[in-house]
Amino acid sequence: MVAALEVYVDPAASRRIRNLWAALDADGVLSVGSLMQGLHWPHVSLAVADRLEPEVVAGALDGLPIAPPLSLTFQFVGQFLGRVLWLGPAPSALLLAHQSTVYERLTAAGIEVWDHYRPERWVPHTTLAMRVPNPVMGTAVRRCLEVLPIEADLVSAAIADHSQGLRRMLT
């Protein structure tokens, strides 16, 4: 099991990202929207772990707004190893501080968050597609650049395990 603590963007930003997923699909790039059969929502993951028990997470984050009133501006396109294509929000001090606080609380509760989500390593992003074929990567990046910037507000949060089709809303 792999679980993520996800924060979701407002409906207008979500619609723009979903439209980008559809455009990527039309260009021959299998988006996470198609790959996950509609289970994937546009989001930024604050933490990923092998397992996240909702009650333990809720207890660890008690009193902390998991999806604080925070605005993001997706300004760039990135790629992780494995040809994972993503949009990146400008990493504001507030966003970085919030993720750091979430990480510290989760680890203090004994949750083993993946190393890539350590505050000094975390790259805020929303995934668009995985294993993008090299011949279409340039087309995919250009398609992404056509829609930037995307303004978004965080509106809710959940623990999600997409492989099992599970989502437990926290806010």
Domain extent for 105: 3-169
pTM of the model: 0.94
CATH number of the domain encompassing residue 135:
3.90.1140.10
Domain count, the chain: 1
Q: Quick check: helix, strand or coil at residue 46?
A: strand
pLDDT tens readout for residues 123-167: 999 999 999 999 999 999 999 999 999 999 999 999 998 777 789
The C-alpha atoms of residue 155 and residue 171 are separated, in whole angstroms, by 8
Quick: pLDDT tens for 61-119: 999 999 999 999 999 999 999 999 999 999 999 999 999 999 999 999 999 999 999 99
Contact 43, 6 (CB under 8 A): yes
> What single string gives the DSSP state of each residue in 26-40?
HTT--BHHHHTTT--
